[in-house]
Chain A
């Protein structure tokens, strides 16, 4: 889909294509005018093909943003995935201590379980088989239930907003009880059907998980909003490292757990006062 001629910088979110110039948005809106758009920022001289960013925006970029937006109603706000246990023990109590937990979570859980599952799906592994691997590997009950709960919502939303034959197959497995419907797989099926390249899909998924966990920590600890933003910026290094590592892992690595994270997720089942379901 031809779009604005003003975007530059491959990979930049389309909405920021105009580099913070206020005129960017109106130009984005007038996409029907094509690359020769005569807005104030367009270069009139020679016609040129859409920039990579513009092409991506027309392809999967905006869809991917919608899919990973923290406003996507999957219920992520209700899950700490174990960090609430650390809060209760007094070990996570401020920006720095949550940062340590978040870094461990990205480097372990999100890398070896969610990330590897997404990669294998992109590489053609059977979704039903991956689904049963995840169900078997997520040993803490609340963690398994969280993955299935958020996965179920993602499957529903995906069915309405990003339907595809692959998604229909996975939904069918879930509705007939042959698969549980895990969040990373629901995401991966949709992202793959949208043509998102694997590294981008991984980075987007991991960063979305990090974002909702950080937002939850901001409410629960509590932290200031700016502290949350600082944490996210720092976590982006962990996300980049995780994407790189996920690409190098072998099938034997799938589901490798950290005992500490796992025990804390298990103990959350018995925590008396809690804000989160996991």
Chain B
């Protein structure tokens, strides 16, 4: 399922590239093989199914293999929301590594999924590192996805494909921070390429419809990404994506007002509505992971308080 669901979402997709090359008579540039066809080893696999048997959410299925582990579940408050922490014992993603994560949050279940530490992408000579994540949310299910920041090192190339399917009554909150990377000489943006592509589908009327496609492609090796029209002179990028039937313009305005108190350049907007649910996207540029975490934390604190009656998230990493 997650193997072939990566990024290609339409039957025409596979042939489009070929057709385009022929038509434009452009010499085929060497590209890494597409994620759908690449014969690459699965370096780590994680499967998690969350149910709520008696008011407290808990994993009903759990499987891990290779360089992905999960810590014992814990509960941060009395809400019944279970918190799982993903761990990469190898410490980093390397070239041609493929990580597959498959999570299902059953009807009414509540999951907070985070990481133990930053996701680090080391040099990836030859081929990119890749994470394919499939998330499914049932009726009334709630998922908070709060990974640590992403750090790409010099000459790193990384693709993150996230495919989310939810119902109009599900509640999704995901926050993410991308740093300018790290290189020995201290210069920023020395990685090759970062692709973070997220599709959010809503089950409506017997089928599923695409609500949002968030496709972030940062390629410092090809273009200057630091200036006006891209990073606007800032170094860090934060994103918050919320899908919930309670998302409305008033919430967007509230989060926008909240962003004003931060040293960050922030925009908030709403997706179209599908099947009675709506997406909200907040995008922010700043100069530090801490500042963006403060902003994203303030936003999720507001949502947790208003919607779930939960206190602000306090993850003490251990």
Contacts and interface: CB of A to CB of B under 8 A. Distances in A.
Given A129-B10, A258-B230, A119 B20 contact: yes
A153 B271 CA distance: 22
Contact of B24 (A132, A244, A258): A244
B211 to A, nearest CB: 6
Nearest to A86: B228
B12 A124 contact: yes
Interface centre among A86, A249, A251 (most CB of B within 10 A): A251
Contacts of A139: 212, 214, 269, 271, 281
Contacts of A105: 229
Nearest to B232: A260
Interface magnitude class on chain B: 35 or more
Contacts, number: 158
A260 B215 contact: no
Contacts of A246: 20
A267 interface: yes
Interface string A93-131: 000010011011101100010000001100111100100
B237 A259 contact: yes
Given A132-B210, A136-B213, A255-B213, A266 B228 contact: no
A135 B212 CA distance: 8
A256 interface: yes
A89 to B, nearest CB: 9
Contacts of A140: 267, 269
A247 B283 contact: no
Interface in B137-175: none
B227 interface: yes
B316 interface: no
A137 B214 CA distance: 6
B284 interface: yes
A270 B23 CA distance: 43
Contacts of B35: 252
B7 A251 contact: yes
A256 B209 contact: no
A252 B272 contact: no
Q: Please classify how large the interface on chain A is, using the bins under 10, 10 to 19, 20 to 34, 35 or more.
A: 35 or more
A258 B222 CA distance: 14
A104 B31 CA distance: 24
B285 A247 contact: no
B204 interface: no
B230 A247 contact: no
B12 A91 contact: no
Contacts of B20: 119, 123, 246-249
B12 A265 contact: no
B186 interface: no
A253 B217 contact: yes
B266 interface: yes
Interface in A199-225: 199
Interface string B20-42: 11011010010100110000000
Interface in A3-58: none
A56 to B, nearest CB: 18
A262 B230 contact: no
A144 interface: yes
Contacts of A263: 232, 265-267, 283-285
B231 interface: yes
Contacts of A259: 216, 230-232, 237, 283, 285
B16 interface: yes
B20 to A, nearest CB: 5
A260 B19 contact: no
A187 interface: no
A58 to B, nearest CB: 24
B150 to A, nearest CB: 14
Contacts of B14: 251
Interface string A149-174: 00000000000000000000000000
Nearest to A252: B7
A230 interface: no
Nearest to B35: A252
A72 interface: no
A262 B212 CA distance: 14
B267 A108 contact: no
A266 B283 contact: yes
Q: Which 4 A-B pairs have the closest CB atoms?
A: A104-B229, A266-B267, A247-B24, A263-B267
Interface of A: 86, 91, 97, 100-101, 103-105, 107-108, 112, 119-120, 123-126, 129, 132-133, 135-137, 139-142, 144, 180, 198-199, 244, 246-267, 269-270
Given A263-B284, A265-B267, 17 more contacts: A119-B16, A125-B12, A126-B10, A132-B209, A247-B21, A250-B17, A252-B215, A256-B216, A258-B230, A260-B231, A260-B232, A261-B229, A266-B267, A266-B268, A266-B269, A267-B266, A270-B256
